[in-house]
Amino acid sequence: MNAVHVKNLTVAYDRRIVLNNISFEVPKGSLTAVIGPNGSGKSTLIKALLDLIPYQGRIKIFNQKPSLALNRIGYVPQYFDFDRTMPITVREFLSFISPVQSQQATQICREVKIDNLSNKLIGELSGGQLQRVLIAQALYKNPDLLLLDEPSTGIDIAGAKTFYEVIEHLNKEHGVTILLISHEVNVVYKIADQIICLNTDLICNGPPRYALTEKVMHQLYGPNHEIHRHNHQHKT
Amino acid sequence: MLEYLALPFMQRAIMAGLILGALLSLLGIFVVLKRMAFFSDGIAHASLAGVALGVLTNANPLYVALGASSIFAVLISWFERKTKIASDAIIGLIFTAGMATGVVLLSLKKGYQPELVSFLFGNILSLQWSELYIMAGLGLLIIIYLMFRHKQLALMILNPDIAHANNIKVSLHQTILYVIIALSVVLGMKMLGVVLVSALLIIPVSTAKIFSQSFHQLMAYSVIISEISIVLGLILSIILNLPTGAVIVLTGIAIFGLTMAGQRLKLQFFHGQTG
């Protein structure tokens, strides 16, 4: 069964086409990565899946229209720009989402490694800590699908490593379907079951070792990029 | 001093002040969080059109201004969502259009307009019982709405996309927020006037931010600071025989200054102890 079904999706801002007639499916329980250069339509794809922008074509999430499936989607945005001097604790920010049992809230905070940050102000968190808090807010809905828009942007190497560990844990241990936008091709090559390459058009779609060819990399990023293949097993 | 408290106009002023103090300071948290201080200033000036229309038609200017400001708030929200014009430019357009309409309308009425002067510079001591009832009813209704919806509003301001993903109807709640800010600003104009009303939205929350350690503390301390500024300002203005609105604002500013100084002293002392 598919968690996401996209058929002939086209999105245009004014007359500029950002996504051109793309079709793909995201299997339930998979970790799917979306890659592509800046301006390739990756964030626009997430916005269409969240029903935030008008689009042409068909999107089904768990066989429902996106607007009806929002209860099953957790979302972590690319940017979280706010007045950092505003005193809002992590616990209060998470309470803005929806009421959850305190036992469940404690478990989520432990899973994403923020259980020691409850009384800290969100304006005082590091990039990595804030990103994990944003994952926690997405998990408060107990989602079946997690949409992550370039979640490791602005995080240091240690923070990014912890972040990807959390993502893999949620996917493998809890069966959450994950659609992850990322610029880190070498990282997603290692952790993703499926890779979708976008550059306005759909350039590739499939398991990393088959989808990410030198030709595809050239189409996405130009001739000066290559991938370093690793000898390890993917869940295909 | 006590004999003043027995006077009906003074009782009305204190009651109105306490309601407006709580209302404007709570709303101020969202105004500061959304960085929309210019919105409240713009609405206050634009509602001059409503005041002028009330004066011209012999209707109560407060009621007409409440209607006009609500329309302006809905228009700003609509233009923000449906056009590519920058938010501050939209507010600037509405601001100047409302002011210009007010000036034109007022030019049609001959003679001195005491109502107009009280709206420009505020005069809470001239408040009528009927106006106090409207202020109390509307004010309490908005405060109850904020008590129930403050979490959704805060999330919507922090990140509209996350709010949408959590089934919050962002455009509806944004329009409601704009309308209740507009209504509250007009209610506040009776106390502080067009020119100074934004002060009660900004000063209490800015002061409370200095030492609050959570959002709930911020809400509580903003209201307390606002009420102290109003009551103290009211008393000082009577003792010193000075304009009430201006003295309330200056009292708020003084509390802000003292809090800042106190915080700096505390930090210096702390560094002295640890350094």
Q: What CATH number does the domain containing B177 carry? A: 1.10.3470.10
Question: In whole numbers, what is the pLDDT of chain B averaged over residues?
Answer: 90
- Please check the confidence at residue B168 and state whether its pLDDT lies above 90: yes
Q: Is the CB of B81 inside 8 Å of chain A's CB atoms?
A: no
Domain-embedded: residue B175: yes
- Report which of residues A10 and A184 the model is more confident about: A10
Within a domain: B221: no
Q: Is residue B265 in a domain?
A: no
Residue type for position A149: D
A interface with B, Cβ–Cβ below 8 Å? 47, 50-52, 70-71, 73-75, 77, 80, 82-83, 85-89, 92-93, 95-98, 121, 134, 137-138, 141
Contact B166 A141 (CB under 8 A): yes
Band (B222; pLDDT cuts 50, 70, 90): very high
Q: How many CB pairs under 8 A join A and B?
A: 67
pLDDT at residue B268, as a whole number = 84
Reported pTM:
0.87
3-state DSSP of chain A: CEEEEEEEEEEEECCEEEEEEEEEEEECCCEEEEECCCCCCHHHHHHHHCCCCCCEEEEEECCECHHHHHHHEEEECCCCCCCCCCCCEHHHHHHCCCCCCHHHHHHHHHHCCCCCCCCCEHHHCCHHHHHHHHHHHHHCCCCCEEEEECCCCCCCHHHHHHHHHHHHHHHHHHCCEEEEECCCHHHHHHHCCEEEEEECEEEEEECHHHHCCHHHHHHHHCCCCCCCCCCCCCCC
pLDDT for B275 beyond 60: no
Exposure b/e, B5-17, CB count within 10 A at least 16 = b? eeeeebebbbebb
pLDDT in tens, B75-128: 999 999 889 899 889 999 999 999 999 989 988 888 777 777 778 888 888 888
pLDDT in tens, A52-79: 999 999 999 999 999 999 999 999 998 8
Residue A48 vs residue B106, higher pLDDT: A48
Total domains in chain B come to 1
Smallest CA-to-CA distance from B39 within B49, B50, B27, B31 is with B31
Q: Which domains does chain A have, with CATH numbers?
A: 2-82+144-221 (3.40.50.300)
Helix axes B61-82, B37-46, angle to 10 degrees: 130
> B92 in a domain, yes or no?
yes
Q: Does the structure show a pLDDT above 70 at A235?
A: no
Q: What is the pLDDT of residue A180?
A: 92
pLDDT band at A227 (very low <50, low <70, confident <90, very high): low
User: Kind and range of the H or E element at B49?
Assistant: helix B48-57
Say what the pLDDT of residue B173 is. 95
pLDDT at A226: 61
**B216 lies in a domain?**
no
Instruction: Give the tens place of pLDDT for each residue, A131-154.
Output: 889 989 998 888 999 999 987 776
What pLDDT digit, counting tens, does each position of B248-263 carry? 999 999 999 999 999 9
Contact A96 B154 (CB under 8 A): yes
**Those residues with Cβ within 8 angstroms of residue A101's Cβ, 6 or more apart along the chain or in another chain:** none
Q: Is residue B275 part of a domain?
A: no
Task: State which residues form the domain around B157.
Answer: 2-198
Q: Say what the pLDDT of residue B250 is.
A: 95
- DSSP-assigned states of every residue in B180-203: HHHHHHHHHHHHHHHHHTTHHHHH
Structural domain contains residue B236: no
